Structure 1
Amino acid sequence: MPELRKDYVTDTWVVFSASRAQRPGAFRGGTSTTDPVKCPFCYGHEHMTPPEVLAYRKDGVPNGPGWWIRCVPNKYPALQVEGEVHRRVSQLFHSVNGVGAHEVIIETPEHEHHLSMQSEFQVQEIITAYKQRYLDLIRDKRFKYILIFKNHGERAGASISHPHSQLIATPIVPRRIVEEVNALNRFYESTGGSCLYCEIVETELEEEKRIVS
């Protein structure tokens, strides 16, 4: 089973998961894209993924065609959803068993249709799927933090080129997130109730800098 271990030198937690080494080496051997014939995220290949936990489809049956968004458990998870959280402390060694969730949000049935090419409707649906999975998992009392992220390309760590995002729910809150929340709270209190993120957005819009259109 995966495990989270405390690094006391950096005061951070590190995930150890042997199953991650079994991921398909889609980018190894000089290729930059996954072969659509072998891609588990392509339309018609639903049998190649674990059973879906969420799908947007007009017609069809679960784990079959007809979808435009699918969410499935990661076949090579960093954390496993089964079990309870147990902490182990032995002198300087502090670990937590790797209970959590690791899911893949398949953003489109189209193998080469990346986010910049998606319609406004499809992008909205992707974000709606993020929200729906987040709200579902946050009800699980074992999970203390949920991260939604996207790796694009080999250099970012993606092992499959088909457009997708990932979600990880962990039983601990990373130190960096705690620091960010504390900073936001300090700003809120020092300004009499202002939101730091809102202030950043408003300032950048006003100055018309750092805006990419």
Structure 2
Amino acid sequence: MSEIRKHYFLSEYCIIAEERAKRPSDLAVADKDHGKNDSETCLFCGGAEENTPLATAVYKSGKIYSDNPEKRVRNWDFRCFPNLYPVFSPAPESPEKQENGQEVESGYGFHEIIVESPLHGRRLDDFSDSEISRLMKVYRDRTCSYTTRKKIRYVSLFKNSGKKAGASINHLHSQLLALPFCPPLLARELEVISKKEICP
């Protein structure tokens, strides 16, 4: 279970998520293979659904489905599922504690993978306008799904592109983090925006 640690004096936070160090990396294998990447072993490709957690949302032909343990949805357009190596977890919350004078609480929250194509090797610039529009709808749906959850204060969508940016899987995907706090810098920006009544 991860932990959220608050700065001794400032309203700043540090997230400790040791399990993230156990993530597999197909990019490291691709480096050793001089850039070759075998789509047959990719965990995110269509047909490899059993290699990931049960999907929380599967978008197929304009409809939304979810997996069940007996049957995974196939021939999907977009697939969303919990990250196997999460920064945050919806596990039962532990009470806040003090550790060497520092506030520490459990890393309650959600960390989801959004796989943007069942086909290995696709890139966003290969998408048609219609596909980009459908992907934006997926992002909106998933963000809205988490903003209504108990104790979630902020939802972040992001994409790591390439090994140097922190990606460990080469297949096209984004990630969603649902946090129990709003990052202080963003909270300050929102406060200024609300006072000046401007729209960023």
Aligned to 2:109: 100
TM-score by length of 1: 0.82
**Which position in structure 2 is the counterpart of 1:3?**
3
CA distance, structure 1, for counterparts of residue 176 and residue 94 of structure 2: 19
Is 1:123 the counterpart of 2:132? The answer is yes
With 177-186 and 146-155 compared, the bigger mean Cα shift is at 177-186
Residue 184 of structure 1: CA displacement?
1.0
Measure the CA separation in 2 of the matches of 1:171 and 1:141: 9
1:92 CA displacement: 2.6
C-alpha offsets along residues 113-170 of structure 1, whole Å, 9 cap, x if unaligned? Answer: 1111111121112111111111111121221111111111111110001110000011
Contact kept, 8 Å, 1:34 with 1:162, in 2: the verdict is: no
The amino acid of 2:141's aligned partner reads Q
Task: Decide whether the 8 Å contact of 2:2 with 2:106 is kept in 1.
Answer: yes
Residue among 74, 77, 80 paired with 2:86? 77
Bigger Rg over Cα: 1
Q: What secondary structure does 2:77 align onto?
A: strand
SS of 1:168 mapped into structure 2: strand
Residues matched between the structures, number: 191
Q: Which runs of 5+ in 2 are unaligned?
A: none
Q: Does the 8 Å CA contact 1:24/1:159 hold for their aligned counterparts?
A: yes
Corresponding residue for residue 98 of structure 2: 89
The 1:177/1:33 distance shift into structure 2, 3 A limit, reads farther
Distance 1:33-1:143 versus aligned 2 partners, 3 A rule: farther
Name the TM-score, length of structure 2 as normaliser: 0.87
Partner residue in 2 for 1:184: 193
Q: 1:53 to 1:33 in 2, by over 3 A?
A: farther
SS in 1 for 2:55: coil
Contact 2:57-2:66 at 8 Å conserved across structures? no
Shift of 1:180: 1.3
Question: Which position in structure 2 is the counterpart of 1:16?
Answer: 16
Q: Counterpart of 1:135 in structure 2: which amino acid?
A: C
Q: Which runs of structure 2 are paired with 1:13-162 in the superposition (5 Å)?
A: 13-28=13-28, 30=31, 32=35, 34-58=37-61, 62=67, 63-84=72-93, 86-90=95-99, 92-162=101-171
C-alpha deviation, 1:9, in angstroms: 6.3
Query: Residues 55 and 66 of structure 2 are in contact (CA less than 8 Å); yes or no, is this contact kept in structure 1?
Result: no
Query: Would the alpha carbon gap of residues 34 and 186 (structure 1) be closer, same or farther in structure 2, given more than 3 Å must change?
Result: farther
Distance 1:9-1:162 versus aligned 2 partners, 3 A rule? farther
- For structure 1, the residue ranges without an aligned partner over 5 or more in a row are 189-193, 198-213
> What is the rounded CA distance, in whole Å, between the counterparts of 2:155 and 2:108 in structure 1?
13
Query: What is the root-mean-square deviation in Å for CA atoms of aligned residues?
Result: 2.1
> How many angstroms apart in 1 are the aligned matches of 2:60 and 2:77?
6
- Identity of counterpart residues, as a percentage? 31
